[in-house]
């Protein structure tokens, strides 16, 4: 449901498939893993491998999500990942195996790199509050702007002269007590570039019902309704403290490259 809603939103915005980027982990927690993977593949957008694609491509036994042993996230993964693994066709495994691990492109006078989690470690958690991690990652990336996923929370972080842009995810709410999910936009404007995060409403009740029927991820089915994660194991203290607090959409404008300046702003 969320993937279909995002595709409709892209059509409304006039964004062609060739200008759409997916940072991977397409089927994580999903009640319809094969169908969702086919939908993304048939869309024709740019996709990189997340840890889930890497693991599913070779029919590995676990998701390699970087959950600590004994945590609730690790326990839940023993339900949703085998469910996805047993339902994935050879065609989609081959497609996942052929996906690139990263992408590079230039746009609006800036260099971009797309990664899943961290630059060198695909399943690394990179959160906005961890400035030392961000500083390390932007250097490893080498790009003016790095687009990343995996952590599940939308944010735009200015780190020196570089930017780390996590648009959030569409498969799960952002632990802010709302059922909406997230995507990002990149637009050329006035000789520079505008980055923004956006909410996306979709039929989350139908999606949650499908997850409950599947029986593999009922903790996450509740999340689709409540907007609260079933576990906070992966979150640093700062992100844990904001649980249930509505996240605002954000924008960051980077002026023409010659200016070497950036201006960050937010909108309600």
Query: Which residues are registered as beta bridge partners of 46?
Result: 21
Condensed to tens digits (0 to 9), the pLDDT of residues 221-230 reads 999 999 999 9
Number of compact structural domains in the chain: 1
Beta strand pairing status for 110-114 and 145-147? parallel
CA distance 60 to 82: 9
Query: Which residues are registered as beta bridge partners of 157?
Result: 164
pTM across the whole model: 0.93
State the average pLDDT over residues 29-40: 94
Given a cut of 90, is residue 188 above it in pLDDT?
Answer: yes
What is the predicted pLDDT for the residue at 217? 67
Look up the domain containing 191 and give its range: 2-266
What is the predicted pLDDT for the residue at 174? 98
- φ, ψ of residue 238 in degrees (nearest 5): -65, -40
CATH code assigned at 253: 3.60.21.10
CA distance 232 to 78: 17
């Amino acid at each position: 449901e969320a993937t279909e809603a995002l595709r409709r939103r892209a059509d409304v915005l006039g964004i062609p498939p060739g200008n759409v980027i997916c940072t991977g982990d397409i089927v994580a927690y999903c009640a319809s893993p094969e169908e969702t993977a086919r939908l993304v593949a048939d869309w024709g957008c740019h996709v990189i491998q997340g840890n889930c694609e890497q693991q599913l491509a070779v029919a590995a036994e676990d998701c390699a999500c970087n959950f600590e042993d004994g945590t609730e996230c690790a326990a839940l993964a023993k339900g949703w990942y085998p469910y996805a693994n047993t339902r994935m066709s050879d065609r989609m495994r081959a497609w996942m195996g052929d996906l690139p691990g990263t992408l590079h492109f230039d746009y609006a006078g800036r260099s971009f790199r797309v990664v899943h989690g961290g630059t060198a470690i695909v399943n690394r958690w990179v959160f906005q509050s961890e400035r030392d991690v961000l500083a390390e990652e932007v250097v490893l990336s080498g790009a003016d702007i790095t687009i990343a996923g995996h952590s599940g929370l939308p944010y735009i972080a200015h780190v020196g002269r570089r930017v780390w842009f996590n648009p959030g995810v569409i498969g799960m709410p952002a632990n802010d007590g709302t059922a909406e999910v997230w995507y990002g936009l990149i637009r050329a404007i006035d000789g520079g570039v505008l980055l923004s995060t956006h909410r996306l409403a979709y039929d989350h009740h139908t999606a949650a019902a499908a997850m409950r029927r599947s029986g593999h991820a009922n903790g996450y089915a509740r999340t689709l309704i409540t907007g609260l994660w079933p576990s906070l194991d992966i979150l640093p203290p700062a992100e844990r403290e904001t649980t249930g607090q509505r996240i605002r959409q954000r924008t960051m404008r980077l002026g023409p490259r010659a200016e070497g300046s950036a201006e960050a702003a937010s909108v309600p």
